Chain A
Amino acid sequence: MNHLIAVILVPFITAMVTALLNGWPRLEKAVSLLSCLGLTAYVFWLTGYVDQHGIQVSMIGGYAAPFGIAFVADRLACIMLCLSMGVGSVAMVYSMWTATTTQQKYFFYPLFHVVLLGVNWAFITGDLFNLFVAYEVMLIGSYGMMMVGASKAQVRQTMKYVAINIVGGSLFVVGIAFIYATVGTVNMADLAVRTAALPPARAGMVTVASLVLLVVFALKAAAFPVFFWLPDSYPVVPPGVNGYFAGLLTKVGVYSLLRMFVMVFRQDGHEMATQILLVMSGFTMLLGVLGAMCQWDIRRILSWHIISQVGYMVMGVGLSANSAIAQMAIAGTIFYVVHHIVVKSSLFLVGGIAERVTGTQQLKQMGGALDIAPGVAGFFLIAGLSLAGMPPFSGFMSKFVLLRAGVTGGNWVVVFVAVITSFFTLYSMSKIWNYAFWRERSRPWAGQSYRGMMVPTGVLIAFTIVLGLFAQPFLRLAADAADDVIDPRAYIQAVLGPGSWTPSLTEGKGEPGTSLAAWDSVAQASPGRLEGSVP
């Protein structure tokens, strides 16, 4: 499957072309749109293909794994790519209505494609060091996007974003160095094989080394206690881009946690890291939502909610320490990621429209938007309720799966925190509704047209309804994706070839493959499994 490289090649080339076309805005937009839509179609096709025919691998340059860099498309990666490109296309169309000429001159479109490039790259790569490179590309692209227009506030706030993330990047390299020193490889499949066979003494050391990566991914995911970069920087980003950032950037961190801490690290005692994540998730949920409750800037509220929501996803990863509920917890996390990306992006897009309609992003100065723009109000209502986990929208199903996993596993504290967080989220959403959409109009209507922004937003809104009412196929896909991650034999065989890993690599640690038997117990049917998932 050598065309896997398209997921990074297309945005890469588009970024270059659009940079050259900067003087011809119309042409630039057309190329951007075509590239986004085309790649979106490709990744949706790819998802269907992978779902039916199994994991697809492309070895870049033809060097065999674990030496060359592997691009791997399993179900999880495909789901993430669909989200990245789907939301990316929506945000692109939205931005065509909102981006100003100044922003366009400032290489808005090329930078957008660089962000897409970095995010897609992070999802498709099967190599830990390459993941670091993807992080760097994503970081510089997103930094550039945040700076678009270069207002004073942007320069000041994004400085923190880039500084914290550069520190995170350095820690990433340090962490990789520790992992390489103790395990001897950076290929993810190879790492999974080797960590599963580690002698107990070294397993503990690898777990400690993995904690460095845990901090890096938690930083990217904006989990407590290291979410600092998010609430300061998001409110100054242009609205359309903000929708994409809100959806995807932190989820790259969550994805990395899933990939590394559920699939890759399999040494004895690796559950310690997931248990730490479970504790972090509780604090992230609760403190994030508490931070949101007291804000009065609509975008700051929504930004704090991202943190809180990330807590739910990390909670699923944390719950996976208990093998009896691992599949349900991971499936819940994946479903939650899908739900969250769609809903959070749409909320930011709706917030952008509300700003345009009312001419402010200060909640107290808004008001009466229901009378001016009932459609926008309807969109917000759906997305806000979905975010809070109200049925029948997607938030309900995603929270339900996670709560069910928590109840089955007897993790009452985190279940309690999750419920309280959901309640506070509802409070916060009803506060926005109360101030922005109800009340009497306090200011004259800004009078700007927003119709063109409604269509892309509506696509996302429609998806949260579909995801809630017709969740079954998505749940099934999430459950199968969870199986792939929890029991990575298929992944390993796809990357390293059936039995192709050299005995020297596992020398003195038993025959290759024997350590894999331990995973059978994980994959066995247990009360925490989703019913009806494909065997």
Chain B
Amino acid sequence: MTDQTHLLPWIVFVPFAAALLALWIGRWLGRRTGVLMVLAAAASFAMSVMLFVGGLGGEGISGGARYFVPWMPAMNIGLGFRGDPFGLFFALLVSGIGILVGIYSLNYIGADLRPARVGRYYAALIAFMGSMLGVALADDLMLLFVFWEITSVTSFLLIGFWYERDIARRGAMTALQVTALGGLVMMVGFIVVGVVTGTFSISELTGDPQKIQKLLDSPLALTALALILAGAFTKSAQVPFHFWLPGAMVAPTPVSTYLHAATMVKAGIFLVGRMLPVFGNHPAWTPVLVTVGLATFVLGAYQAVRETDLKGILARSTVSTLGMVMMVYGLKAADQDALQILNHAAYKGGLFLVAGIIEHAAHTRDIRKLGGLRKDMPITFWLCVLTALSMAGVPPFFGFLAKESLYGALLANAELAAHPQARWLVIGLCVLANACIFAVACRLIFGIFLGKKPADLDHVHEAAPGLWAPAAVLATLAVALGLAYPLTSWLANHLSSAGDGHLHVSLWPEHWEPLTLSALTMVLGLAIYKGRTLVAQLAHLLDKRAHGNGAQQAWDGGMALATWAGETFSARWQSGSLRWYLGAVMSALVGLVVYGLYRVGIGLAEIQVNLREMSWYGLALCVLLGMATWILATARTRLGAAITTTAVGFLVSLLFVVYRSPDILLTQILIETVSTIFFLLVVYFMPPFKREHPSPPRKLVNLGISAAVGVTITVLLLLCMSPPYRELHNLGAGYLSRSLAEGGGANAVNVIIVDIRAMDTNGEITVLVVVGLCVYGLLRARRRAA
């Protein structure tokens, strides 16, 4: 068994390699790229079979072949794959249906499209298959997440295949948003699991009861569970996230079959199956899953009855079945999972392919515009009958076995037995939902193929074998697995996530209760189908109260709200007014500093600067500076502003007299002089001075901000000068001693500027030169323009 372990990563990576190849050579191959898909799927299928056969006798979810190479050991993420029966079951499902969908696509995707576009389609489809196989076989939670999100992205590209159509783009966007958000949330859940237990490996988790206990005892257990379930619910289109799936039906039919019936939507269920051994004993597990699952089961079935779009009907009934499997997991009846999933994949895959054939031939998917096609499409008719009867749960089809087994499991379930009042509610709702599914199956057969044929369907004729052959394979499966029930039992037990399943299914029921429920389902179903006009009227009444699709509206509303919030915020905040920008920056500064002073508990009383130490001329200079600044702020002409700026500059220079630093004084005066001359030269060429006249309240606010900044900086300055805060052992002494000894100059300031810290000076000189360069360039550009 171990010698085949090395196949595990190849099952996943062969499709990815094929996808890259398809992307590369697809533009020349065009439609024929589908062959690559078939080949890749077949290769993965063959390898999965080998692993399955080799691993027979493995012990359920914690067993199976394992493959591990470190990927990012720093983050404890490994490239871990595991070929346990349940994972391999999914891999077989994905690759097996992949073969059929590939063949179907070869005949379905039109020859009228540009070859490159068809190549891209196949690349996305094959990459999707690879990532789905990755989800099935990943042992590392983060690796699972990686593949999970790749399925979201590739499904986005596939749903939007007809990207010229508004409706296709919208469906793709919604699907991406819902599933990707769920995925992101799920990732946080995985991180919580990893942080609490110290591992991301599913098999390590399930194999170590102590780790599971540690997780369940942790206060974060509920958070982790909720986050992970959010991912599963969005992917599997559970209530209240069920709305994206019908919208995704704009995809080409092979895509709908593959993604939205057979594989991707089952990823959520698969994840829940994987998590059952980990979170199964959490008190929230059963109530949450049963509630959500049952609600989806019933709601989906009800909506399927009401839907008129062929693929919409199938999509909603798919949602319904997924809810049923969720519920089964909630009831911890894990041994049912393989049976139910396999059953659904067989009949629903077949029906989707049939729907595609009909759309291809009749150019409509509206069941109200179809009818009487039995004579024109005999093969398709029989395929539809076989699969729909399996869906309805009529003996001797596979669907009958599954339904019987489900009822049996519900009746015998320990979780339900513990809550007698809920027990019959659950079972009753299940019967009701199954009855709706039965009615849907009737409608498919009668509505499309029997009855009166509308006049505009005369051109319809039977499809090419390449289209119906894949459907035939699935239909055969739906029949054969019903008739050969010992094989079905064996498969259901060996592919289940429960591992130790002792499920026994048979066409000859051993107990009368499940059979009664089945019979009840059929009678009720027939009644719903017969009384469909009445049901429609009732539903119409319901609609008036509920206003259609609430979840979709809520989602769209949420996105619109976010956009509106962004619009309002960015328009107000990023207003384009420099005055507001500077005001906000300054307010932020003041706010932070005041908050900081408050937090560290420093008050104005701590200022210990004695103003009497300052000379009288120093103080006088300060007063003058204040006056000059005020005049500058209220200047009426540009020239006046320029001159007062100069005045401020010179007054600041004079301050250096107070501090006895003539070098800096001289430098400063030089700069002020030069810039004043420069400014006076330029002022002549400038447009008239535009004065804004803000309203008095705004003026007051501006004044307040300016004053606050001045006060804050002054207070900080005084505090920094005060004895307890001032550092007296600064670098000054070191510079003084070094300037002569190492710099060879007695004037410390000069030595610092041109030698010790010459790099600073160099930078400032660079700035000046670059300004010159800019001005020169600007003048040149202007002159050319003029």
Q: Point out residues on A near B: beta carbons under 8 Å.
A: 12, 19, 60-61, 63, 66-69, 102, 105-107, 110-111, 114, 117, 121, 125, 129-130, 133-134, 136-137, 140-141, 143-144, 147-150, 159-160, 163-164, 167-168, 171, 174, 177-178, 180-186, 194, 201-202, 204-205, 207-209, 211-212, 214-215, 219, 225-226, 228-229, 231-232, 269, 272, 276, 287, 289-295, 304, 370-371, 374, 385, 389-392, 396-397, 400-401, 403-404, 407-408, 415, 419, 422-424, 426-427, 430-431, 434, 438-440, 471-472, 475-476, 479, 504-505, 507, 527, 530-533
Please give, as numbers and ranges, the residues of chain A lying within 8 Å of B731 by CB-CB distance: 66-67, 184-186
* A130-B760, A422-B184 as given contacts; A67 in contact with B738, CB under 8 Å: yes
Q: How far is the CB of A305 from chain B (nearest CB, A)?
A: 12
For B616, what are the chain A residues with a Cβ–Cβ distance below 8 Å? none
A209 to B593 alpha-carbon distance, docked (Å):
8
A-B contacts besides A205-B720, A290-B562, 16 pairs, CB < 8 Å = A60-B758, A107-B774, A136-B767, A140-B767, A164-B585, A178-B717, A185-B730, A202-B724, A219-B585, A276-B592, A385-B153, A423-B177, A423-B181, A438-B164, A475-B75, A527-B195
With both beta carbons as reference points, the residue of chain B lying nearest to A159 in the complex is identified as: B578
Distance in angstroms from B148 CB to nearest chain A CB is: 8
Contact A110 B717, beta carbon cutoff 8 Å: no
- Residue of B73, B569, B763, B774 touching A290 (CB-CB under 8 A): B569
Q: How far is the CA of A214 from the CA of B142 in the complex (A)?
A: 36
User: Considering the chains assembled together, what is the distance between the CA atoms of A63 and B744 in angstroms?
Assistant: 13
Contact with A along B183-206 (1 / 0, CB 8 A): 011011001101100000000000
* B153–A530 CB distance below 8 A: no
Contacting residues, chain A, for B455 (C-beta < 8 A): none
Whether a CB of chain A sits under 8 angstroms from the CB of B316 is: no
> With an 8 A cutoff between CB atoms, is B701 at the interface?
no
**B566 and A160 form a contact (CB under 8 A):** no
Chain A residue with minimal CB distance to B189?
A407
In the complex, the chain A residue whose C-beta lies closest to that of B145 is: A391
User: Is there contact, CB below 8 Å, between B592 and A214?
Assistant: yes
For the complex, give the distance between the alpha carbons of A214 and B585 in Å. Answer: 12
Instruction: Report how far A311 CA is from B71 CA in the complex, Å.
Output: 28
User: Does B142 contact A211, Cβ atoms closer than 8 Å?
Assistant: no
Residue pair A531, B73 in contact (C-beta under 8 Å) = yes
Q: Contact residues of B with A, CB < 8 Å?
A: 70-76, 114, 116-117, 120, 142, 145-146, 149-150, 152-153, 156, 160, 163-164, 169, 173, 176-177, 180-181, 184-185, 187-188, 191-192, 194-195, 559, 562-567, 569-570, 573-574, 576, 578, 581-582, 584-586, 588-589, 592-593, 595-597, 599-602, 713, 716-717, 719-721, 724-731, 734-735, 738, 742, 755-760, 763-764, 766-767, 770-771, 773-774, 776-778, 780-782, 784
Contact A426 B177 (CB under 8 A): yes
Contact with A396, one of B146, B194, B776, B780 (Cβ below 8 angstroms): B146
Which 6 A-B pairs give the minimum distances between C-beta atoms? A204-B600, A184-B730, A290-B566, A133-B763, A184-B727, A438-B163
- Whether B760 and A133, one on each chain, are in contact in the complex, defined by CB atoms closer than 8 angstroms, is yes
B404 → chain A, closest Cβ, in Å? 42
The CA of A136 and the CA of B181, in the complex, are separated in Å by: 42
Tell me, rounded to whole Å, the shortest Cβ–Cβ distance linking B778 to chain A. Answer: 5
CB of B195 within 8 A of CB of A404, answer yes
Distance in angstroms between the alpha carbons of A177 and B718 in the assembled complex: 12
Contacts of A404 in B (CB 8 A): 75, 191, 194-195
A160–B773 touching, CB < 8 Å: no
Contact at A143–B592, with CB atoms within 8 Å?
no
Given A401, A423, A438, which contacts B160 in the complex, CB threshold below 8 Å? A438
Would you give the shortest CB distance from B267 to chain A, in whole angstroms? Answer: 15
The A/B interface has a contact count, at CB < 8 Å, of 298
Q: Are A205 and B180 in contact (CB under 8 A)?
A: no
Most buried by A among B70, B559, B566: B566
Q: A69-B759, A403-B187, A533-B74 are in contact. Are A144 and B764 (CB under 8 A)?
A: no
Q: Complex: how many Å from CA A326 to CA B419?
A: 49
- CA gap between A163 and B581 in the complex, in Å: 10
Q: What is the bound-complex CA distance between A400 and B183, given in angstroms?
A: 13
Which of A105, A137, A407, A423 sits near B184, CB closer than 8 Å?
A: A423
Query: Across the interface, do B784 and A67 meet the contact criterion of CB distance under 8 Å?
Result: no
A-B contact pairs, 9 of them (CB 8 A): A67-B731, A107-B776, A130-B759, A204-B601, A208-B597, A229-B581, A232-B574, A404-B195, A505-B729
Contact between B188 and A184, CB atoms less than 8 A apart: no
Kindly identify which residue among B120, B195, B570 contacts A374, using a CB–CB cutoff of 8 Å. B120
Instruction: Check B589 against A114 for contact (C-beta < 8 Å).
Output: no
By the criterion CB–CB under 8 Å, are A178 and B716 in contact?
A: yes
CB of B729, distance to nearest CB on chain A (Å): 6
- Contact B773 A110, beta carbon cutoff 8 Å: yes
Chain B residues with Cβ under 8 A from A137's Cβ?
A: 763, 766-767, 770
Q: Give chain B residues whose Cβ lies under 8 Å from the Cβ of A531.
A: 73-76
* B727 in contact with A439 (CB, 8 Å): no
Asked whether A129 lies within 8 Å of B73 as measured between CB atoms, the reply is no
Q: Chain B CB within 10 Å — which of A167, A292, A294, A424 has the most?
A: A294
| In-complex Cβ contact of B188 among A182, A232, A407, A427 (8 A) | A407
Residues of chain B within 8 A (CB-CB) of A19 are 773
Enumerate chain A residues within 8 angstroms of B729, measured Cβ to Cβ.
184, 504-505, 507
B582 and A167 contact, CB distance less than 8 A: yes
Q: Across the interface, name the chain A residue whose C-beta is closest to B162.
A: A438
Contacts of B716 in A (CB 8 A): 178, 208-209, 212
Q: Return the contact of A67 from the options B584, B600, B713, B734 (Cβ within 8 A).
A: B734
Cβ distance B763 to chain A, nearest Cβ, rounded Å: 3
Other-chain contact of B562, A136, A167, A293, A408 (Cβ < 8 Å): A293
Complex contact B781–A391 (CB within 8 A) = no
Which residues of B are found within 8 Å of A370, using beta-carbon distances?
163
In the bound complex, do residue A430 and residue B725 qualify as a contact, i.e. CB atoms below 8 Å apart?
no
B371 CB to nearest A CB, Å: 35
Measured between beta carbons, the chain A residues less than 8 angstroms from B169 are 434, 438-439
Minimal Cβ-Cβ distance residue in A for B592: A211
| Residues of chain B contacted by A134 (CB below 8 angstroms) | 763
**Contact A291:B569 (CB < 8 A) given known A69-B757, A391-B146:** yes
> A155 to nearest B CB, angstroms?
9
B146 cross-chain contacts in A, Cβ below 8 A: 391-392, 396
Q: Are B177 and A427 touching (Cβ within 8 A)?
A: yes
CA distance A505 to B588 in the complex (A): 34
Contact A69 B782, CB 8 Å, known A202-B725, A294-B563: no
| B759, A60: Cβ atoms closer than 8 Å | yes
- CB contacts (< 8 Å) of A504 on chain B: these are 729
Q: Is the CB of A164 within 8 A of B581?
A: yes
Q: Which residues of A contact B589 (CB under 8 A)?
A: 171, 212, 215
Contacts of A419 in B (CB 8 A): 184-185, 188
A532 touches B73 (CB 8 A): yes
Q: Considering the chains assembled together, what is the distance between the CA atoms of A390 and B187 in angstroms?
A: 11
Q: Which residue of B lies closest to A132 (CB)?
A: B760
Minimum CB–CB distance for B502 against chain A, Å: 39
